Structure 1
Amino acid sequence: MNAPSSPLITVIIPVYNVEEYVEKCLTSVLAQTYAHLEVLVVDDGSTDDSASICQRIANQDSRVSLIRKHNQGQAVARNVALEKARGNYIAFADADDWLEPDMLSSLLNITLQQECDIAVCAYNLCKENRAIILGQAPVSKLSSQEATLELFKDRWLNNFVWNKLFKRELFEDIKFPAGCYFEEIPIMYKLFQRSSCVAFTKYAGYNYRIRRNSTIGSRRISTELDSCENHIRRYNNIIHTKPDLEHALWSPLVRCFLHTVYISMQNSLSEQRTSRTRRKLISTFINKNRSRYKKHLGLIERSACRLMECNTWMTDLVLFAWAIASKVLNKLH
């Protein structure tokens, strides 16, 4: 697998003020059992010692290149690296996470074996010395359309780029949108649609660290708004070209929307202004899509929307009840 004729994998790592974690991340990438790598580290204007740590490692290993730029956000950093990438395949890592030694080898193997353009592994969610395995697929392979539908359900298949391996050509004319959180949402379904198929392994090859001041660890109403808007924009884009998917995709969209807003409620129960923003967001969503949710939703989501439509002050209570009902039903299934 490591012969010169083997495919080159480009690993893209945006870096911003992660001096405490970045060396572990880079060490785990360079220790991969699949060694034919190009590692593009993009320092996005760090103000700590992150860049100097990366430069020291780059001086020690010729596979690592450090790109320095002023701060524009993770999406732009990833786009800059994509323009410079020489690999046949593209992988991503967040600078505060780390990879298991066989992650890239495992993903490349199933990509070649299944003759797919994208491979996905499970991952460990790591928080305060505890880890749980998530994203274990119940299948080994899905067609492009099957994978897209599963992506919308947002269950075991998610929009994260860091637990996947992509063929380089999939990114032609596709860029991460700058200036928003969860920038993977608007592009992942496009990559899936371009792929011949998507392969899966239950191997948990990636370790995702939850930090208090990371994007996920410090989710605020602004990040939830970005997430909701990205989900809605993705839905509108796909049914514009494939209107026959409207019924299949609408219910997962609403469940994802309600779940996202519920997460914001959990993270900001004491903030009155945030509660008002949340109620306004849901009210606007329901009013704009009244005909759709009556036509395409199941009983639980339809009832939740109806109650919040009648009385927006019941929003938090309804979201809480909906979350409990959804968990019970998921266990029954």
Structure 2
Amino acid sequence: MSNGPVGVALVGAGNISGQYLRNLTAFPDVRVIGVADIDTERAAAVAAEHGVPVSGALATVLAVPEVEIVVNLTVPSAHAAVALESLRAGKHVYGEKPMAMDVDEATKIVTEAANLGLRVGGAPDTFLGAGLQSALHALRSGLIGEPVAVTAATQSLGPESWHPNPEFFYQPGGGPLFDLGPYYLTALVSLLGPVTRVAAGTRRARLHRVVGSGPKEGKVFPVDVPTHVNALLDFPGAATAAATFSFDSPINRRTIEIIGSEGALSLPDPNTFEGPLLARGLHDTDWHERPVSGTTAGRGIGVLDLARSLRSGTPHRASGDLAFHVLELMSAISESGERSEFRPITSTTTSPEPLPSDWDPYASTL
């Protein structure tokens, strides 16, 4: 087993890479060695901005022996190809969500990793943040009794008003379900365990959208996926959840509420790492705020947890099994919307263990 910081390379120098690089370059237990992109000039500029020594095409960073983990930040349609090439080069892979475009592609990734003795991890890692970790501790302490029902919703008018290149959000692998669904579904699975079946209704309000800002402002582009999804999810021996994922709503809403036999919890936005976390008892007339503790370091803590787990030989929390299960949920929800029937979920996973109370991304453990 190797010692010292774990070498990391990022593939995809787009919008999200800056958040990862700001965090990963600050964590002493990882060392960012490379940045790759199909636009090698962009890769070089991003690498230079963050003091990363190697940049270029994917093959360039895969050829660096010190790179142990590839962080795959490419567009969804490239996730599987980049993951498979990285695994075949002997690298562990941590990918942005979704793991792949469909379950067949994801199966190839997890099978290849298992055959090669390598690890797969995946975003979102927001469930490791202080807000959702505190919710997990509250549930496990019995604060609201046994979970009975969940209401979850993410609603907006979509990302085209602010994102300079929003087209991919409306292509297969995107839409509110595949773009924002992973945050909500990963949070629910981490809290309540795996889902056994789903049902859904889906709609598409408009056939075209318009870029609202940046150099492409005014460009009209097609919408190829549902933009409003209502889903039902069954958790065995736990709760039933009703979830809404929408890019068609003038009402901005980001919420998860869990009703239990002895009270209720209102969780923070699962696309964040902080609070607030609210609770109320059966006879309370209003919510009261719960203490929140844990890390708020942001995107990349799942990569850090994977890196530390590689050195310690322990399971990592933002695992391939969890990412695969969430992808199957989204695929089954999409299929249910097309077929108007319940769809069974064949994969399973376990709720990740909570982070230790003293888990500090900025203190070296290696």
TM norm structure 2: 0.29
Higher share of residues assigned helix: 1
Name whichever structure is richer in strand by fraction: 2
Larger relative contact order (C-alpha < 8 A, sep ≥ 6)? 2
